[in-house]
Amino acid sequence: MTHRAVCFVIMPFGRKPDPAGRSIDFDRIYAEIIAPAVEAAGLDGVRADEEQGAGFIHKLMYERILLSEYAIADLTILNANVYYELGIRHAARPETTVLTLAQGCPLPFDVGPLRALPYALGDDGAPADAGAAKAALAERLVEARQHRAMDSPLFQLLEGYQAAPIDRLKTDVFRTKIAVEEELKARLARAREGGEAGLDSLRDALGDLSAVQAGVAVDLILSYRAISAFDRIVELCPKLDAALQRTQLVREQWALALNRVGRDREAEATLTKLIAERGPSSETNALLGRIHKDRWAKALAAGDSFAAKGHLKKAIAAYRAGFEADWRDAYPGVNAVTLMTIADPKDPLAKEMAGVVRYAARRRLAGKPDYWDHATLAELSVIAGDWDAATESLSDTLAALDEPWKAETTANNLSLIADAREAAGIDVKETRELIAELKKRGPAKG
């Protein structure tokens, strides 16, 4: 089963007459020029008449027009269906639509300024130089993939124009992709058993990563993250599709990995730029807070109390901004409370925020809680000195553990609390016991 990006081909079928009366063989144009060019560009090509899914054929066609990562439109004749479908594509996608047509065929006024790649036809209406046309089209597709230049006149000329959002959960195409991704997840699970080598083998089997479907690429990133192979994520992200690299999710995971491999300045710049573009968010700000928290811990270990104080302030500010951006996400909130308590054990704002964070975590427990929800309650119970609640929450936390690095993160958070309290002469025996249990489940060392 393929995991390459899809290129939908918008063109007439069979033989159709051109304005001069010549019969053009569009099936041969597709078979000899377009299909091999799409393959050479590392994509999966599909024409509307090749759809094999069940359901209303027009529904499938519209889904392909809107959801395919790439599209080719052949404008050789004034085919109403082609121009209608191209209009839908241009209204929905600012880029990655390539136009082509037979040499000598005029274009209507409205599409005359568009950049279309010509190919030669013989007197029989078949390609005259299929090899050259195929190579030129493949090059144009690769160019579209690498540079992502805007090609829709609507997006180019109408300032502020934005496409209507598409609910992909309701499309047959997306349901098909879910099945593909389920199969891939099984492969990824097997590959993770082989550690980095197993995932590396799967990554290499996928071929050109810039042509891989977005869901597949993201699953690979998260699989590397699950085994703490952050160096692999740093290597992987620059090889992905340019548009995918610009998404918030990939930029966040890229920054996380950069910080974990010691390139924290690059990670900070990535997250700061992301926040400037899209505003604060619980995830982005939490990752930025982690960078400052790591710097604070390093400064403390080096005995640089002045620098440590500054990093601690920045960490608290980042986590608080993340929590205030979305109070439903307790993760940045508990980190803010933890660091505020360390900075000032009597800080009234920390106690006030702790109550809000606890409520947010408990609300999530009523739905589909994950590891972080239970870990949040465990940390808050430790901060409050409620050892019965802390022990119970830790049991739930370990039962929900799905990736070892998460246990390590929680252990580090509790260690910060324990170290600060120990320095203040407070008994931290119970906290150290909880930390030891978490470290047993953390990533293997060595």
Amino acid at 427: D
Element spanning 117, H or E:
strand 116-119
Q: Dihedral sign, CA of 272, 247, 140, 112?
A: negative
| Per-residue confidence (pLDDT) for residue 55, from 0 to 100 | 40
The Cα–Cα gap between 2 and 166 comes to 24
| 436-to-73, 147, 380, 381, 442 alpha-carbon distances in Å | 61, 50, 18, 17, 10
- Cβ atoms of 209 and 192 within 8 Å: the answer is no
| Per-residue confidence (pLDDT) for residue 234, from 0 to 100 | 97
Half-sphere exposure of 159 (CA within 13 A, CB side): 0
Q: Tens digit of pLDDT for each residue in 396-443? A: 999 999 888 889 989 988 998 888 888 888 889 999 999 999 999 888
Hunting for tokens 């089997």 — which residue is that? 205
| Per-residue confidence (pLDDT) for residue 80, from 0 to 100 | 87
Task: Give which of 296, 351, 288 is closest to 322, Cα–Cα.
Answer: 288
Average pLDDT of every residue of the chain = 86
pLDDT band, very low/low/confident/very high, at 136 (cuts 50, 70, 90): very high
Name 127's bridge partners. Answer: 121
- Cβ atoms of 29 and 100 within 8 Å: the answer is no
Structure-block tokens of residue 183: 């199969």
Name 201's bridge partners. Answer: none
Examine the pLDDT at 31 and tell me if it is beyond 90.
yes
| Per-residue confidence (pLDDT) for residue 173, from 0 to 100 | 57
Task: Give which of 41, 54, 48 is closest to 9, Cα–Cα.
Answer: 48
Q: How many C-beta atoms lie closer than 10 Å to residue 18's C-beta?
A: 16
Examine the pLDDT at 57 and tell me if it is beyond 60.
no
The Cα–Cα gap between 162 and 93 comes to 9
- Cβ atoms of 377 and 361 within 8 Å: the answer is yes
| Per-residue confidence (pLDDT) for residue 54, from 0 to 100 | 39
Task: Give which of 433, 392, 389 is closest to 415, Cα–Cα.
Answer: 433
Examine the pLDDT at 138 and tell me if it is beyond 60.
yes
Task: Give which of 26, 24, 34, 32 is closest to 123, Cα–Cα.
Answer: 24
Percent of the chain with pLDDT over 90: 46
Structure-block tokens of residue 88: 């839908």
| Per-residue confidence (pLDDT) for residue 107, from 0 to 100 | 80
The residue that leads in pLDDT, 32 or 244, is 32
Helix (H, G, I), strand (E, B) or coil at 116: strand
Q: Tens digit of pLDDT for each residue in 241-270? A: 887 888 888 999 999 999 999 999 999 999
The distance from CA 439 to its chain's CA centroid, rounded to whole angstroms, is 29
Percent of the chain with pLDDT over 70: 91
Dihedral angle, C-alpha 359, 361, 367, 370, nearest 10 °: 180
Q: Tens digit of pLDDT for each residue in 375-389? A: 999 999 998 889 999
The residue that leads in pLDDT, 207 or 318, is 318
Q: Report, as an integer, the average pLDDT of 136-164.
A: 87
Examine the pLDDT at 53 and tell me if it is beyond 50.
no
Task: Give which of 297, 332, 298, 290 is closest to 315, Cα–Cα.
Answer: 290
Domains of the chain: 6-164 (3.40.50)
In the DSSP assignment, the letter for residue 158 is: S
The distance from CA 172 to its chain's CA centroid, rounded to whole angstroms, is 21
pLDDT band, very low/low/confident/very high, at 51 (cuts 50, 70, 90): very low
Structure-block tokens of residue 279: 């505003």
Q: Tens digit of pLDDT for each residue in 153-210? A: 888 888 888 877 765 555 555 556 656 656 777 777 788 778 889 899 989 988 888 8
| Per-residue confidence (pLDDT) for residue 263, from 0 to 100 | 97
Burial class (CB in 10 A: 0-12, 13-18, 19+), 69: buried
- Cβ atoms of 192 and 226 within 8 Å: the answer is yes
Q: Report, as an integer, the average pLDDT of 10-30.
A: 87
Q: Report, as an integer, the average pLDDT of 104-114.
A: 78
Structure-block tokens of residue 384: 């409050």
Examine the pLDDT at 271 and tell me if it is beyond 80.
yes
Q: Report, as an integer, the average pLDDT of 281-310.
A: 94
* Bridge pairing between strands 15-17 and 23-25: antiparallel
pLDDT band, very low/low/confident/very high, at 127 (cuts 50, 70, 90): very high
| Per-residue confidence (pLDDT) for residue 58, from 0 to 100 | 59
Examine the pLDDT at 142 and tell me if it is beyond 80.
yes
Examine the pLDDT at 149 and tell me if it is beyond 70.
yes
Element spanning 444, H or E:
none
